[in-house]
Amino acid sequence: MLQPVIDDDGAPFWEYAARGELRLQACAAPACGELRFPPRPCCPQCGSFDSEWRRMGGRGRIWSYVVPHPPLLPGYTELAPYNAVVVELWDAPRIRLVGNVVAAPDAPLNSVDPARLRIGAGVRVVFDGDGMPRWLLERS
C-alpha cells in the first residue's frame, strides 16, 4: 500500500492524524480565519502567512465515490473491488477529504459492501493504527 508522500505544507495534518486528531489548516489572521485545503504556504483569501491547525468535528457525508477494479497497484489489486470516497465535512462543506469507508478503524478498504454506499450518507472519521483517516457509516 502507498504511504503518503508528505510535503512541508501537509506535514502537520499527518502529525495530528497520527495522534487521532482531524485538524485542517486555517488562516490565523484575526480578520480572516478562512479554512483551506490542501494546505499551502499562504492564505488565498487575504495573503497572510500565519496559519493554525483547527480541530474539526470529524463528521461529514459522502460527496461521491468510486469502486476501483484492476489493473491497480500491488496491495490494492488484492483488495479490489474496494471503495474510495470523497467526504464533505459538516462543519466546512467546501472542504472535502478523500478516504475510504471501512467497517472498523483497522478493517481493510473492501470491508464494506459497495452496495451500501450512497451519495449523502453520513460518515464519521476514525484513525487506523498507522494514523490514516478512515470513515465509518453513521448508520451501520
Partner 1 sequence: MATLKDKAAIVGIGQTDFAKRLPEPEKTLACRAILGALDDAGIAPSEVDGFASYTMEETDEVEIAKAVGAGDVTFFSKVGYGGGGSCATLAHLAAAITTGQADVGVAWRSRKRGSGPRPWTGTAVQLPTPAQWTRPFGLLRPADEIGMLARRYMHEYGATREHLFNVALACRNRANQNPAAMMYERPLTREMYMTSRWISEPLCLFDNCLETDGALACVIVGAERARDCRQRPVYIHSAAQGLPAQHHGMVNYWNDDPLTGPAWTAARQLWKRADFGPQDVDVAQIYDAFTPLIPLSLEGYGFCRRGEGAAFTEGGALEIGGRLPLNTGGGGLSEAYVHGFNLINEGVKQLRGTSTAQVPGAGTCLVTAGEGVPTSAVLLRS
Chain positions contacting partner 1, by CB under 8 A: 1-7, 10, 37-38, 44, 63-69, 72-73, 76, 79, 81-82, 84, 86, 94-100, 109, 114, 119, 132
| CB closer to partner 1 out of 30 and 70 | 70
Phi/psi of residue 24, each to 5°? -120, 150
Distance CA 71, CA 79 (A): 12
Shortest reach from residue 12's CB to partner 1, in Å: 12
| CB closer to partner 1 out of 8 and 30 | 8
What count of residues does the chain have?
Answer: 140
Q: What single DSSP character describes residue 4?
A: P
Please name the residue that has the C-alpha cell 454506499.
117
Shortest reach from residue 72's CB to partner 1, in Å: 6
Shortest reach from residue 4's CB to partner 1, in Å: 4
Among candidate residues 132, 121, 129, 130, the one with its CA nearest the CA of residue 59: 121
Among candidate residues 106, 107, 140, the one with its CA nearest the CA of residue 123: 140
Shortest reach from residue 137's CB to partner 1, in Å: 16
The one-letter code for the residue type at 124 is R
